[in-house]
Amino acid sequence: MDICAGSCKKGDFGKMGENLASIDDFEKYAYTVLPKNALDYYRSGAGAQTTLADNKSAFSRYKLRPRILRDVSKRDLSTTVLGGQVSMPIGIAPTAMQRMAHPEGELANARAAQAMGTIYILSTLATSSIEEVAEAAPDCTKWFQLYIFKDRSVTKDLVLRAERSGFKALVLTVDAPVFGIRLADVRNGFNLPQHLRLANFTNVNLDKFDDKADGSKLTAYVASLFDSTLNWEDIRWLKSITKLPIILKGILTAQDAILAVDAEVDGVVVSNHGARQLDGTFATIDVLEEVVKAVDGRVEVYLDGGVRDGTDVFKAIALGAKMVFLGRPALWGLAHSGEEGVKKMLRIIRHEFDTALALCGCTSIGEIKRCMVLFESKL
């Protein structure tokens, strides 16, 4: 199958590369320029990738119920997240190894978020360090995505560095006690290009890792860091070493949402890790309302996974999300033109969301009501 998932060829995007109109356009363009090793790493999901496809298609099962004849001439897309104001309820999710998409990688992505007045979440497995990102985008609201590793001193060091560098929250990924099975990476023997590094780690010797079972020595190294003993007591430990707000990323059930509230965290991200950990889970939009009802306003709820259009953002907010985060779309923007590509991508989805807001009869985030979205089976 052609990697553009259609009939397009590399030359077809000469003009479109200058006049992209949607996130799908950015994705198709990225497919023509990214090396296969990087492209497959970014675009692939776990297993048979059924959840990967469903994350996007699930949004179409929710239908909008617009209100008419309302004055929508003045609209405000801003909202508050953890007490701070952002320009729109759309931020950038953590994705690993962004310099494979563009030489400036995470630096360009963070500067784009800064320019757009929104939140950037830096991945632990970044190709730019915590300190480099802080220097590149000093005025950006930055959160740091974190794992609690087997070696707790490694995690503690990352937390202290994030604090010193002005990051405003920790986003703890809780759906990775082991590494998910990503067949494309196994087949490709995925590895970072030689000129890149995992910038938040030093003195990594990959030679001692076996690359046969996991696809590459790099994958084996990352998998070796994960701690399968991780449990709710470890949240207590993390709270004891930092005063930063803690957000749990990877909540998919009401039961775990309630336990997160009991653990006194500050927020949860309804997320299935971009469908990269366990295939066969629900799409995130399908479980969002369950989680929102379970926390009952006691913590903020965010969503990632499958958001590709401004109407998706509207639906997620109507179902109770405070904000959504985009992962792969930012990578496609980087692959197009670095910082400028990410800014253009964000402007497109902001415009789509603003249009959806107006056409549904709303002038602000607060006017988006649950009754404006209906699951198709209830029609």
Active-site residues: which are they? Answer: 273
Identify any residues that bridge with 251 across adjacent strands, giving them in sequence order.
Answer: 270
d(CA 200, CA 129): 5
Phi/psi of residue 19, each to 5°?
A: -140, 55
253 CB-near residues (< 8 Å, 6+ apart): 287, 290, 291
160 CB-near residues (< 8 Å, 6+ apart): none
8 CB-near residues (< 8 Å, 6+ apart): 2, 28, 32
Q: Which of 61, 186, 100, 121 is nearest to 109 (CA)?
A: 121
113 CB-near residues (< 8 Å, 6+ apart): 91, 92, 119, 120, 137, 140, 141, 342, 346
Helix crossing, 328-359 with 23-33: angle to 10°?
A: 160
The tokens 């699930």 sit on which residue? 58
d(CA 304, CA 343): 19
d(CA 188, CA 272): 23
What's the Cα-to-Cα distance from 106 to each of 146, 188, 265, 321, rounded to whole Å? 16, 24, 27, 25
Structure tokens at 126: 């970044």
d(CA 330, CA 178): 26
Structure tokens at 169: 């929250």
